[in-house]
Amino acid sequence: MSGQASQGNSSAPLAGLRVLDLSTVVAGPFGSDILAALGAEVIRITPAPETPRAPGDTVSEADGFLYALARNKEAVALDLKSATGRAEFLKLVAVSDVVYDNFRPGVTARLGIDHTTLSALNPGLICCSISGYGASGPWAGVGAYDVTVQALSGAMSITGSNDSACMPCRWGVPIGDITGGFYAVVGILAALNERARTGRGQALDIALLDGQLALNTYRVPQAFGAGVTFGAPQPRRGGAGTVPYGPFLCADESWLVIGVATNFWRRFCVALELPALADDPRFATLALRQAHQSDLEALLEPYFLTRSAGDWQARLIAAGVPVGRVNTIREAFAQPQAQARGMAVPLAGAAGVTVAGSPLRFVDEAPVTFTAPRSAGATLPELKPRASPPPPVSTASPAALALAAQQGPLNGITVLELCGDEPSGTFGTQILADLGATVIKIERPPTDPATCDPADLPVTPALAYYYGLNRNKRSLCLDLKTGAGRDTLLQLIARADAIYDNHKPGVMARLGLDTATLRRANPGLVSVSVSGFGHSGPWSHLPAYDATIQALGGGMSITGTGAPGTMPVRWGNPIGGIGGAFYAVIGLLAGLHRRRATGQPAALDIALLDVQLAMHSYRVAPALAGHDYPATQRRGGSGALPYGPFRCADGRWFALGITGQFWARAAALLGHPEWATDPRFTTEADRQANEDALNTLVEAAMRHRTADEWQALFVEAGLPGATVRTIPEAFDHPHVPTRDMLVSFDHPLGGRMRVAGSPLKLSAHPFSGFRHAPALGEDSRAILTTFAGLSEAQVQALRDSGAAWWADTGQCFNRPAVV
């Protein structure tokens, strides 16, 4: 049976781990929910006892937060401002592994529960703190919400319409908060790996803005190295210039998203019963389709209006063409693939409530069960048995350490990457490499070595794309279609800790690298496979693009202005692949954590669609109970107002994130303190009931100052608000240099390359720079001798046979497609 790690299962990857969770709202609890799903004992610490929720017939939006973010957790009420509450908390700290919070910087020190204090009591403790702008930098004390970090990071400038008159869009899913949770979990698991070697804990400092800056990935070197200017993407052109691409309106007034790359063009035309279109001289090649994009779309638009979106989706699925109907959240969970993968899960102890399952699917392991949240009382629930951490043992291979490009908590871990150069693979392995893992890219030798002449190679957008996803890695060229190449890879697998691929299901098996073969080579191997729809279910064989995954997953239905007839909007960054990469890294590290204790291997099956569904989090239970979530740019996830982008005197946009706690101060700052006592706007409910009137007043007030003037006032007041910045402007923020979020390094062909930094700030590993992304086969010889242990004669024989390759001189950056 294929399933998910179980919180109540003693063999779950994080069984025996205890986490004290002080976090609230979304960013913190989303991360600790992942830890709980992996089997950790997570104990929520609340300041006061909670009233148990009475059973009811409806599931409110507030219930959605509770069911999604407090499930599978224990709870206790402790007043940390009192001596008694703090003393009880310290008793728990002494027998725990992780303390996790999302307080503003300085709060834990004022409470006497900062890392320095707690580590004196428990030297192996890992403390993780999430905040808007981190514990350092000029904005450390400023409030932040999802909308403000999306605005500051450049993400809103590449989402929505290219028309500067149109309101910029944030993604409807709170990706600023969720990314913070992802990085927190990755950092905790990496720190646990290092503790197993050294016995020492450490502190993690996670900033939501750092996370959003990092998600710009390849766009950063493209902007700073290749001179690419980014605006909102064309809604009907893919990231690689694919045409036709994006949403088309259908007969039932639903939208259908397509992604027709060159290899799908002919079958797309046949499926539409327009076979002659494939050879039309205007559209016969991708370059021609790009040149005549408007003509092609004008032809397709009325044609798609002849059938419903569901009919077209069925036809294109049958033809194997990437496609996705723009689903609501409820529709997304009702799809046959979501049902087959068990992504809608009943919540035990809460009759009639359904929540999102976990995308962390451990093959042939017991599925997860989710239990209703436990209300915090004054008495601590009975703690689960927990063994003390074993004495530290370092099993790191000296060869792996020699090849590591970074000093970090994953030093000694070797990961073999067999990925196409797409974020679902390369972004994930880059995170591992940044943390000190030795990541070896297994790459295909060039078909024509003459094309590898590096003379005067410019920094093209394609080269910058590669640099944005592959720093700190090593490159080995092997031809896996030869017996010698495959046998050499198996020798590497026997010495590695993990293997990571992002191929369609079946590709690894065709290469002779199925799970059984991998396990024979290395019985303790952790293998991770990321694909659009996973290895099970009726759609497992289908191709997927970021836009189709965003459509199918429900994210596009809640993004945009929501105005009738407007085209649905996908998020500007490729969140389909990026989200899959986060879950792949988390699953890989959790698998290694368990293997260290038990020797048990793991195989993970990560589906990008599952990930999109899981990120709806607190919206799932209400949506599946009948609540509708429309697209809206001016209301926060909890209904907060005023929220979202407003135009300023200079024509730029400024995003507000004003929840109830900030309302009176925000009203005064906007020049209208009387709004705070106006009966139309006094409470959150009042502001929601009079939303249009409030937004009209705020629009007028915001036009009295420029965006920069508002920014200075909001920073001084510590209120959540931010200018909508472009990507270059985002990295010109004073926060960036203090947090090392724009990093330069030498380009092997001359000059400097700039990339986004790592959001993972660990106290034991101050940042010291990145190594450049490797040239094709740059490390082949070193890997084969140092890591695989082959003699010089054996290595030369592999090269002479064509099974292995490296360039004699210079650096090759002209890469063929990865197998």
Amino acid at 772: H
Residue 579 neighbours by CB under 8 Å, 6+ apart: 608, 611, 612, 615
The C-alpha atoms of residue 511 and residue 360 are separated, in whole angstroms, by 25
Picking from 424, 402, 428, the residue whose alpha carbon sits closest to that of residue 415 is 428
- Known active-site residue 497: no
Alpha helical stretches, state H, 468-574: 483-495, 507-510, 515-521, 546-552
Picking from 51, 45, 123, 36, the residue whose alpha carbon sits closest to that of residue 78 is 45
Write b or e for each residue in 480-502: b if 16 or more Cβ atoms lie within 10 A of its Cβ, otherwise e: bebebbbebbbebbebbbbbbbb
> Which secondary structure element, helix H or strand E, spans residue 743, and what is its range?
strand 742-746
Picking from 104, 650, 73, 33, the residue whose alpha carbon sits closest to that of residue 376 is 73
Burial of 767 (0-12, 13-18, 19+ CB in 10 A): middle
The tokens of 171 are what?
């993604």
Picking from 223, 746, 732, the residue whose alpha carbon sits closest to that of residue 465 is 223
Residue 642 neighbours by CB under 8 Å, 6+ apart: 634, 656, 658, 666, 687, 694, 695, 698
Write b or e for each residue in 680-707: b if 16 or more Cβ atoms lie within 10 A of its Cβ, otherwise e: ebeebeebeebbeebbebbeebbeebbb
Beta bridge partners of 371: 348
CA 89 to chain centre: 32
The catalytically annotated residue of 101, 177, 434, 546 is 177
Q: Contact at 8 Å (CB) between 532 and 604?
A: no
Q: How many CB atoms lie within 10 A of CB 220?
A: 27
Q: Contact at 8 Å (CB) between 40 and 188?
A: no
DSSP string of 409-444? TTTT-EEEEE--SSHHHHHHHHHHHHTT-EEEEEEP
The vertex-174 CA angle with 309 and 100, nearest 5°, equals: 140
Q: Contact at 8 Å (CB) between 159 and 569?
A: yes
In this structure, are strands 126-131 and 203-207 parallel, antiparallel, or unpaired? parallel
Picking from 790, 772, 762, 718, the residue whose alpha carbon sits closest to that of residue 106 is 718
Residue 413 neighbours by CB under 8 Å, 6+ apart: 193, 396, 400, 432, 436, 437, 438, 497, 498, 592
The residues annotated as belonging to the active site are 177
